[in-house]
Amino acid sequence: MKQIVVIPGDGIGREITDAAILVLKKAAAKHNIELAFSEYDAGGAAIDKFGEPLPQATIDAAKAADAVLLGAVGGPKWDSVAPHLRPERAILGLRKALGLFANLRPISVPASLAEYSPLKPELVSGADILIVRELTGGIYFGEKFEAQEVDGVMTAWDKEYYTRPEIERIVELACQAAQKRKGKVTSVDKSNVLASSRLWRKTAHEVAEKYPDVELGDMYVDNAAMQLASNPKGFDVLVTSNLFGDILSDEAAVIGGSIGMMPSASMGKGTGLYEPIHGSAPDIAGMGIANPVGTILSAAMMLRYSLDENEAAETIEQAVEAVLADGYRTADLYREGMKKASTMEMAEAIAAKI
């Protein structure tokens, strides 16, 4: 029996995790996988109940589980709470507590969805990028100085900080991922300006020497932002720091038309965590119209990476493709002539293909 901790979180989190669980159960039944689900609080939901964004009970359960499925955290309701109590602390705290140093964000554009892209269809059709984002280091976890008057001037700072072992392990993972793909890694940094990036670049090349079958190239982050929009098919695996990866993965996610479609896996030595790339979308929360596909595909990644159930993962991925090919679309992707589906209708249509 595999233990799955479910953290719905805030906003549309409940709707999309419910939808993903429905599909997961169907795939598990088909492939004779026994799953047990238990629900825990984090984010704004936990602030409201317990006065803190990441209760110890949630951390303990996550550590003991085989995998964590997370919806989304945050919302305007908690915008004015103290920085250390913000809902986002929950996801950052979980990443740190579980040692999730690698965040995998695959972005692919099937030909059927190329017309939804804000970019020209011929530019994006067939694009297939794996963003490997460092997740427990850099400016996110470096020393901080909250705004305070220093010599009469309000001042605040955050420290971008990387060690060689932190860079090594993420670039290793990127190279290994590339070996199973097209064998190309683009390491993204800002080494023309930042000392931390110079260490990043040097270390990346030293690691890549151990992978003669992998071609490593470097790119400055500003150029990478442009290349993602002008030539997305030029990328295979893109590896980068925590902050750059956060920004570039949102950019890359819209290449496929909707950020609602994009899954992610966060991995380290222990329990893995799976969540869609998008946020809690408070503006549409509770309306039953959110796109559940990003969460459903995250559940597929969970089957593949944490439960070693590759066939079940493929079953889900193929079911998603089949339902899209049938014309089912949630509101974010709806166009005339398509079959408009609510969050649950989309999940049911996907489950029905399994």
- Interacting residue ranges for Mn ion, rule: CB under 5 A: 246
64 CB-contact burial (10 Å; exposed 0-12 / middle 13-18 / buried 19+): exposed
Residue positions annotated with a catalytic role: 140, 190, 222, 246, 250
| 114 is a site residue for ligand IPM (CB under 6 A) | no
Question: Residues 323, 45: contact at Cβ < 8 Å?
Answer: no
Q: In whole angstroms, how close is the CB of 5 to Mn ion at the nearest point?
A: 22
Question: Residues 296, 22: contact at Cβ < 8 Å?
Answer: no
Q: In whole angstroms, how close is the CB of 10 to ligand IPM at the nearest point?
A: 11
Q: Read off the amino acid at residue 235.
A: F
DSSP string, 13-63: HHHHHHHHHHHHHHHHHHTT--EEEEE---THHHHHHHSSSS-HHHHHHHH
Buried b (16+ CB within 10 A) or exposed e, 339-350: ebbbbebbbbbb
CA distances from 95 to 141, 264, 314 (A): 11, 13, 26
Buried b (16+ CB within 10 A) or exposed e, 146-169: eeeeeeeeeeeeeebebeeebbeb
Q: Which residue is nearest to ligand IPM (CB)?
A: 88
Q: In whole angstroms, how close is the CB of 250 to Mn ion at the nearest point?
A: 6
| 246 is a site residue for ligand IPM (CB under 6 A) | yes
The nearer residue to ligand IPM, 123 or 247, going by C-beta atoms, is 247
Q: Which does 91 bind (CB under 5 to 8 A by kind): ligand IPM, Mn ion, none?
A: ligand IPM
Q: Which does 15 bind (CB under 5 to 8 A by kind): Mn ion, ligand IPM, none?
A: none
| 65 is a site residue for ligand IPM (CB under 6 A) | no
Q: Which does 39 bind (CB under 5 to 8 A by kind): Mn ion, ligand IPM, none?
A: none
Q: In whole angstroms, how close is the CB of 288 to Mn ion at the nearest point?
A: 24
Q: Which does 13 bind (CB under 5 to 8 A by kind): ligand IPM, Mn ion, none?
A: none
The nearer residue to ligand IPM, 91 or 167, going by C-beta atoms, is 91
Residues 71-110 that bind ligand IPM (CB under 6 A): 74, 88, 91-92
Q: Which does 253 bind (CB under 5 to 8 A by kind): Mn ion, ligand IPM, none?
A: none
The nearer residue to ligand IPM, 73 or 114, going by C-beta atoms, is 73
What number of chain residues touch ligand IPM (CB under 6 A)? 5
The nearer residue to ligand IPM, 166 or 246, going by C-beta atoms, is 246
Question: Residues 98, 271: contact at Cβ < 8 Å?
Answer: yes
Q: In whole angstroms, how close is the CB of 221 to ligand IPM at the nearest point?
A: 16
Q: Which does 104 bind (CB under 5 to 8 A by kind): Mn ion, ligand IPM, none?
A: none
The nearer residue to Mn ion, 125 or 249, going by C-beta atoms, is 249
How far is C-alpha 16 from the geometric centre of its chain's CA atoms? 14
Which stretches of 125-241 are DSSP H helices?
164-179, 195-208, 221-230
Q: In whole angstroms, how close is the CB of 179 to ligand IPM at the nearest point?
A: 26
Residue pointed to by tokens 């070693």: 308
What tokens were used for 203? 């270390």
Question: Residues 274, 265: contact at Cβ < 8 Å?
Answer: yes
HSE on the CB side for 58, CA within 13 Å? 28
The nearer residue to ligand IPM, 88 or 128, going by C-beta atoms, is 88
| Binding residues vs ligand IPM (CB under 6 A) | 74, 88, 91-92, 246
